[in-house]
Amino acid sequence: MTSLHLKRFIYLTGASLLFHSTPGFAQGDMMLTNDPCALELTVDNSVDWRGLYGRGYEVFDDAESFETVALSVRHRGAACRFFLTAAPVSGGGENVLSGPGEPLYYDILKTSSGPSFLSTDFQGTETSRIAGQFSAGGGAQGATLFVSIPAHQIVRGGTYSGQVMVRLFRADDGIEDLVAEAPLVILAPVASVLKIRSDDFPQGIRETSIDLGDLSRATRTAVDFNIMSNADVSVTFQSANRGKLAHHAGAPGIAYNLAFKGEDIDLSAAASSSRLNYGSSRTERAVPLEIAVPAPVGLPAAGEYSDALTVTFTAE
C-alpha cells in the first residue's frame, strides 16, 4: 500500500439616496440673494474597493457588497435648480476597470438597488440624473452613491482601475449649463485565488492513502483533482523514495510511474513540476493524477510497500 500525501493551498442593505442641505456660508453672505446663482462641486477623489472581507474583489464569492462615495454641491446667490450626472472616461467609455486580465465591470448606483448614476449621454438621462434645487442665499447639499462590482467575474489577479467624470449642471429656464466637473478614480485589487477539491480526500483533510492493490502484477489508479483558479498554477511533486515503493522490511523496492494531466512526471529528482494555465471560468477543471505500477520482473518480496508523495499547488 502506498501513502499519498497532498498539500493544497486555497487562497482564498439596502439604502436610499439622501440629499441633505446644510448651511454653508456666513450670515453676511446670505444677503447676497440678488447675486447670480453660483454652484461648486466636491467629490471624493477615489474609491478603494475593499469588498466584503477587506481583501478586494473576490472572484469566487457570490456575496454582493458596495463601496460608498460622497459628493456635495455648494451654492450661493439667487435660487436655482441643478442636476448631476456621470460618465466613464476610461475603458473606452464603458463601465469597465482595466488591469492585467479581462475587463472588470462596475457600476455607480444612486441607491444600493439602482438605478445607475452613469450614462453615456453627456447630460445624463432622466433616470441617471440626480436633481436638486436651492433657495436664494447660501447652503450645501450632499449625497452618497454606491459603487458596485457585480459578482461572478473571473479575472486574473492584479490591480484594476478606471476613472469616472462627475458633472454638475445648472438648469434654469430650460437651459442646462455645465458648471463643474470632478474626476473619480476607482481602484480594485483582485487576489490570485486557487480552489482545489478531490473526492479522494475526506472533507477538510489534506492527506489520504491510496491502495494500489496486488503489486505482483501491473496496477493503475488515479486521483482526480477539481481545480478553479484565476491565475496560472504551479504544481510540484516530491517523492520520499524518489519514485519507488519501499518495502517495509528493506527488500528491494518497486518503481512506479506518475502522470499529471497526461504528462509524465520524473520523481527521481528532488522535486518535479508542472503547470496549469489560467482559466476564466467558474467551472471546475478536472485534472487527473495517475499512478501506474508496471508488472514486476520476477516475484517481489511479500509485504507492504509505500511511498509518501507530496503534491503542492500554488497560484502565481
So where are the chain's domains? 2-8+194-315, 32-190
pLDDT at 174: 82
Say which CATH class 32-190 falls into: mainly beta
The per-residue pLDDT for 310 is: 95
> What is the model's pTM?
0.78
Whether residue 71 contacts residue 141, with contact meaning beta carbons closer than 8 Å, is answered with: no
Architecture of domain 2-8+194-315: Sandwich (2.60)
Partners of 45 in beta bridges: none
Residues 181-209 as b or e (16 or more Cβ within 10 Å = b): ebebebbbbbbbbbbbebeebeeeeeeee
CA distance 249 to 253: 10
Q: Check: CB of residue 254 under 8 Å from CB of residue 296.
A: yes
The domains spanning 2-8+194-315 and 32-190 adopt the same CATH topology: yes
Q: Please report the pLDDT score of residue 15 as a whole number.
A: 30
pLDDT given for residue 137 in this prediction: 92
Residues of the chain below pLDDT 50: 1-31
Phi, psi torsion values for 193, nearest 5 degrees: -125, 140
Residue 189, preceding bond cis, omega within 30 degrees? Answer: no
Q: Of the candidates 44, 1, 18, 16, which has an alpha carbon nearest to the alpha carbon of residue 182? A: 44
Residue 25: the pLDDT is 41
Q: Please answer whether residues 61 and 52 qualify as being in contact, where contact means their C-beta atoms are separated by less than 8 angstroms.
A: yes
pLDDT of residue 91: 87
CA 99, CA 17: separation in Å to the nearest integer? 30
